[in-house]
Homo-oligomer: A and B are copies of this chain.
């Protein structure tokens, strides 16, 4: 279980065996059932999750009562609601497992202590955040510059297996189109 996260970290930083053990003592493994919420709007986001297995979505309920998917996360990605996680303010988002999943959690209350003991984690998370931030900028680019259909075609081309895993109504929400329109696009293919 921990070998996946350690392998991911070792792409960017070095860890001795003793350091690996120290790290593991700060981590919690969680099995998460499909549809289970790791965070609900109104709660303070307490953890940052490395996804070992499964698919997650970060979403919100709009003022019109609709679910709006902001972000998906799959194996090998970290997912949290950073605004609440950092500030300690209640979140406006939900974080839900779309499939049965396994995650490894770091807690916001012990993270700084852990980083104090293993400062190379600063470097690791700097890399993780640079990648995540760049991805969000590209997403804003796509929202403004591509139609829902164009975004769908691009996702199918770049991430075919990923697109297959996402329930149709969630993918439609992520793309800002109706499930009916997405269904038509899929049929056209």
Contacts and interface: CB of A to CB of B under 8 A. Distances in A.
Interface of A: 58, 60, 62-63, 68, 70-71, 81-83, 86-87, 92-93, 115, 119-120, 122-123, 125-126, 129-141, 143-146, 176
A60 B145 contact: yes
A140 B70 contact: yes
Given A123-B119, A126-B125, A136-B136, A141 B93 contact: yes
A140 B140 contact: yes
Contact of A144 (B70, B129, B132, B146): B70
Contacts of A135: 83
Nearest to A138: B83
A58 B140 CA distance: 11
B137 A62 contact: no
Given A122-B123, A123-B122, A129-B130, A71 B137 contact: yes
15 contacts: A60-B141, A60-B144, A70-B141, A70-B144, A82-B130, A83-B135, A83-B138, A86-B130, A86-B131, A119-B123, A122-B122, A132-B133, A133-B133, A133-B136, A136-B136
Nearest to A135: B83
A78 B176 CA distance: 30
Quick one: which of A81, A122, A143 has the most chain B CB within 10 A?
Answer: A122
Contact of A133 (B60, B82, B120): B82
A134 B176 contact: no
A83 to B, nearest CB: 4
Given A119-B122, A122-B119, A133-B82, A145 B93 contact: no
